[in-house]
Amino acid sequence: MAEFPVDRLRRMFPALNRSGSSVFFDNAAGAQIPQHVFDAINDHLLCRNVQRGGRYRESREVDAEIARAREVLATFLNAAEPDEVAFGMNATSFIRLVSLALSQNFGDRREIVVSDLDHEANIATWMALEREGAVIRWWKVRDDGNLHLADLEPLLSSKTRLVACTVTSNALGTIIDVAGVAKRAHAAGAEVFLDCVHYAPHGPIDVQEWGCDYLVCSGYKIFAPHMGFLWGRRAALDALPTFREDFIPNVPPLKIEVGTFVYENVAGMRAAVEYLAELGGPSGGNDASSSLRKRLSSAMKAIREYEATLSAALLQGLRSIKGATVYGIQDAQAPHLRVPTVCFNLKNISPALLTTRLADKGIAVRDGHMYSPRLMKRLRLSPDTGAVRASLVHYNTREEIRVFLKELQEIAGN
């Protein structure tokens, strides 16, 4: 494998090159953006900050930008068609939109499977449907920090309407076998809703290969601005009853995109995907969509391989620190089971104090329940204090890990 060009890529991110900038290990809360993304946002606001649907040039340019972004995101996800992609505020609002729609046509299938590994947005949103007659079934995480398909199978029946789960834990970094989830759920006649927010910056997404029915992402985790997007199989989206004004056609994506979304952020999201594609080589070929998909697949595979080295270095280093407890998958030799997101604690040092002391040294990590309080309880941790999370992406380096581990060792008194 060719050496990953991390130094060149870091130069594209202004926030990483500011004087006195931190070692930024809080990417799970939101990644930085490359200059190319900022330029796309800035250009939109300066040149076409108008409403779409008009007959004048700038408005037509907005229409063209949205159409282009939809095509690029569809390629990023390997969607069957661009109209399967809807833009909006964030992933949580899309989960709620789909949950409200499904509650209107439960029929005899009222059971929804959720997991205690998930972000609370992909739990509480479905639990809110209990007052509409839904029955929640819990898919429990095991001590190894993973969701096992063998534990899912007994939960599925002719009463199952939906399985809602994450692709990757935003707290532990565990990658779930979502293709296996979809195969089993569909065999029972149920649909699958995937929270792909945390996985999206770390590896290739293929909704066709995964076999899911719905998937949500958040742009600000994928080197883009704050926005969200929903993908759904065309047949599933066609069947969703949604709120819309009378003049809005009852077809996706228009029926899904309630109100005006932030156009400049959609332009930024498009630019972020194009930035990722650059890692996969130069554009070319007669079929632009096929070429972009190949470049994205190559880029995201390269990111997975490089980040596996970060995961291994991080886990190996934490293992050497006296009093450190790592939660979830700890095997440095099995980085394919996770992304470089690690939750841990140091003995006799509160998570809040540890993150404060690291912040004083210019290292940005996060403490708390990571919006996964049920998981914290499963780990026998108080949701009030939780754990410390270091979350890395492809612009982080092994040298940054060395600095981070050195400071941890000093704090731990090693």
Residue among 351, 356, 395, 408 at smallest CA distance from 376: 351
Q: Is residue 180 part of a domain?
A: yes
Give the tokens for residue 314: 């991080």
pTM reported for the whole predicted model? 0.96
* Residues 83 and 177 both lie in one domain: yes
Among 218, 245, 278, give the residue marking a domain's end. Answer: 278
HSE at residue 409, side-chain half, CA atoms within 13 A, is 12
* Residues 51 and 133 both lie in one domain: yes
* Residues 186 and 203 both lie in one domain: yes
Sign, CA torsion 47/53/56/60 = positive
* Residues 71 and 208 both lie in one domain: yes
Q: Is residue 289 part of a domain?
A: no
Q: Is residue 95 part of a domain?
A: yes
Task: Return the CATH number at 323.
Answer: 3.90.1150.10
* Residues 114 and 204 both lie in one domain: yes
**Beta partners for 148?**
none
How would you write 286-300 as a 3-class SS string? CCHHHHHHHHHHHHH
* Residues 271 and 310 both lie in one domain: no
* Residues 306 and 217 both lie in one domain: no
User: How do residues 229-284 score in pLDDT, each as one tens digit?
Assistant: 999 999 999 999 988 888 899 999 999 998 899 999 999 999 999 999 999 887 76
Residue among 206, 128, 123, 131 at smallest CA distance from 171: 123
* Residues 128 and 265 both lie in one domain: yes
Q: Residue 400, SS3?
A: helix
Q: Residue 231, SS3?
A: strand
Q: Is residue 288 part of a domain?
A: no
Residue among 295, 353, 400, 323 at smallest CA distance from 78: 295
Q: Is residue 252 part of a domain?
A: yes
Rounded distance between C-alpha atoms, residue 102 and residue 63, angstroms: 30
Amino acid (1-letter code) at residue 137: R
Q: Is residue 337 part of a domain?
A: yes
Sheet holding 191-195, edge to edge: 85-88, 228-232, 214-218, 191-195, 160-166, 111-115, 135-139
Q: Is residue 376 part of a domain?
A: yes
* Residues 262 and 391 both lie in one domain: no
Q: Is residue 292 part of a domain?
A: no
52: containing domain = 39-278
Q: Answer whether 395's CB lies under 8 Å from 10's CB.
A: yes
Instruction: Write out the H or E segment, with its range, that includes residue 337.
Output: none
Among 246, 278, 310, give the residue marking a domain's end. Answer: 278
User: What is the distance of C-alpha 129 from the center of its chain?
Assistant: 24
Task: Return the CATH number at 95.
Answer: 3.40.640.10
User: How do residues 80-137 score in pLDDT, each as one tens digit?
Assistant: 999 999 999 999 999 999 999 999 988 899 999 999 999 999 999 999 999 999 999 9
Give the tokens for residue 10: 């870091």
Q: What pLDDT score does 255 carry?
A: 94
Domains in the chain, number:
2
Number of Cβ within 10 Å of residue 206's Cβ equals: 17
User: How do residues 269-312 score in pLDDT, each as one tens digit?
Assistant: 999 999 999 998 877 655 666 799 999 999 999 999 999 999 99
User: How do residues 48-92 score in pLDDT, each as one tens digit?
Assistant: 999 999 999 999 999 999 999 999 999 999 999 999 999 999 999
Residue 354, pLDDT > 60, answer yes
Residue 318, pLDDT > 90, answer yes
Among 278, 310, 344, give the residue marking a domain's end. Answer: 278
* Residues 67 and 194 both lie in one domain: yes
* Residues 176 and 304 both lie in one domain: no
* Residues 65 and 22 both lie in one domain: no
